[in-house]
Structure 1
């Protein structure tokens, strides 16, 4: 697996940065250290920030956005 960085952003919140995600990678990493994942939220894909897109929504890429 490719390396990931993990930072704590609150008492019950972690931020994972993956360069290449594999199926259930975050859940498995948490399981190894006995943490339970309650929710996962994708905030960006490459340099494309998703903003407040709801599940199932989409938008056109803006100028200069590519991944």
Structure 2
């Protein structure tokens, strides 16, 4: 049980470490879910949109980290 607690604690730290990345990913998922709920797109388009949004969020996080490291 201690190992499971340690793993959950580390996962929590990972998500809190980059709050902007976490919130942007969460926003992307909520946005795509809302679009699907309204019936504006089918599942295939929603999956593609979610994939593109996640790639954009990841690219922004990478560029932000590179910029931060250049200024050190």
Q: What TM-score, normalized to structure 2?
A: 0.28
Q: Which has more strand, going by share of residues?
A: 1
TM-score, L = length of structure 1: 0.29
Select the structure of larger CA radius of gyration. Answer: 2
Answer 1 or 2: higher relative contact order, Cα 8 Å, separation at least 6.
2
